[in-house]
Structures are given as C-alpha cells and as structure tokens.
C-alpha cells in the first residue's frame, strides 16, 4: 500500500526538468527539419518560376526573329571578319549572302525602304563576344542603335550558336526560297547554378522571288 501511494505521489509531481528538456529538444529538431524542407521547397519553386520566365523570354525572342525574317528579304550573313558596328557605311547589307554558320544576320524589313542607297533601315540580329543577343532596326553602323534581347542571366554559347542561311543569293526566277536556321545554345545561371538550354528554329522567306 505504501509503495502504491508513493507511485501515485510521483505521478502527481508531473514531468521532471530532464524530461521537459528532452521533449523540447525533440520538438525543435522536428520544427527545424520541417522549416528546412519548407525553405528548400520555396527556393526550388522560385528558381523554377525564374527559369520559366527566362525560357519564355527566349522563346519570345526566337518567335520575334522568326516572324520578322519570314516577311523580310535580302538576307545577309555575318561571318568571321565582319564587324559590328560596321565601318563601311554602304549598301553592302542589301547584298544577299549565304553562310553555313554565321554569328549575325541583316535583312530588309518587310516595310522598309527597298532602295539600295538607304543604308540605315536594315534589321540586324547578332550575338556578341560576351554571349548576348542584340537587335537593331536601323542598320549595323551605330552601336547605340542596338538593344539587348537576352537577360543578363543568359549566356549564349558563341561557338555552338549560329545563324545559317541557304539560297540567299539565288537569282530571281529560281524555285528555291531562301532558308534561315537559327540555333541558340547556352546556359541560364540562377543563384550560381547554371542550367543549359538549346533552342532552334527554321524560317523560309515568305516573299516569293520567282
């Protein structure tokens, strides 16, 4: 009977300080683990959203180039030895020029002035040495006319990316339409983590040259 009463008395005393500390420690471990998982999931979600936004931007850039090239004409490819801005203020950009792997392209906009003497109305897309994509609607002669199309998080691989033009010099009356292939390969860096991307599209000139 005395032993039973002693046990009842001990139970009425509640938890000891050690039991309380152990319980709090276990609770903190569980909470910290859950917080870590939650923060990691949130970081992954933010990265995914940022990546999605950047890839949507790149897709829009590809669509913009495709649409304008499709309705343009007199495609001129920039190859090794050409420069941006061009030091030759002549209608050379009106001269069609094909290439297998160029770093830029100039062409006459659909609603531009077809006069070869007008040298500041060609549209130009090009990839510079730092891996950024630029666009100008006023020819290739003034660097300040160019605007950057790709965000700073995007670096285009200048070796793997290219503008390819087939049949640009084809004479009037032939049955082959000029054909342009654009390939953009590079990386998107977010929070010091680089994610590769690869985009490619092909465009056939809509203007009939027969």
30-59 residue pLDDT tens: 878 777 777 777 777 677 777 888 888 899
> If you average pLDDT over every residue of the chain, what do you get?
82
Question: pLDDT value at position 149?
Answer: 94
Question: pLDDT value at position 210?
Answer: 46
Q: In what order do the strands lie in the sheet with 104-108?
A: 73-78, 104-108, 122-127, 133-136, 147-148
pLDDT at 195 over 60: yes
Question: pLDDT value at position 184?
Answer: 95
Question: pLDDT value at position 172?
Answer: 55
121-174 residue pLDDT tens: 889 999 999 999 999 998 888 889 999 999 999 999 999 999 999 988 866 555
Question: What integer is the mean pLDDT of 185-197?
Answer: 89
pLDDT: is 191 or 62 the higher one? Answer: 62
Distance CA(151)–CA(159), nearest Å, equals 19
Question: pLDDT value at position 179?
Answer: 92
Q: What percent of the chain has pLDDT over 70?
A: 82
Q: Which residue has the tokens 């062409």?
A: 107
Q: Quickly state the pLDDT bin for 2 (edges 50, 70, 90).
A: low
Distance CA(96)–CA(206), nearest Å, equals 16
For the chain, what percentages of helix, strand and coil (3-state, to nearest 5) are there?
35, 30, 35
pLDDT at 110 over 50: yes
63-102 residue pLDDT tens: 999 999 999 988 999 998 888 887 665 556 778 899 999 9
85: preceding bond cis by omega (within 30 degrees): yes
Neighbours of 164 (CB within 10 A): 17
């Amino acid at each position: 009977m005395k032993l039973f009463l002693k046990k009842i008395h001990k139970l009425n005393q509640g938890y000891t300080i050690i039991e309380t500390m152990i319980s709090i420690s276990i609770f903190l471990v569980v909470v910290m683990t859950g917080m870590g998982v939650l923060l990691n999931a949130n970081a992954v979600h933010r990265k995914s959203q940022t990546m999605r936004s950047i890839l949507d931007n790149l897709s829009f850039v590809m669509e913009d180039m495709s649409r304008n090239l499709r309705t343009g004409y007199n495609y001129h490819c920039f190859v090794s030895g050409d420069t941006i801005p061009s030091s030759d203020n002549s209608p050379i950009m009106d001269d069609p020029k094909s290439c297998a792997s160029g770093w830029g392209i100039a062409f006459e906009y659909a609603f531009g002035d077809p006069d070869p003497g007008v040298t500041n109305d060609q549209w130009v897309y090009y990839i510079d040495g730092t891996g950024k994509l630029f666009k100008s609607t006023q020819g290739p002669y003034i660097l300040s006319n160019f605007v950057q199309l790709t965000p700073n998080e995007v670096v285009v691989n200048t070796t793997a990316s290219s503008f390819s033009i087939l049949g640009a010099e084809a004479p009037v009356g032939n049955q082959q339409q000029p054909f342009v292939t654009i390939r953009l390969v590079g990386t998107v860096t977010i929070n010091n983590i680089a994610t590769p991307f690869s985009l490619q599209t092909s465009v056939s000139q809509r203007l009939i040259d027969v």
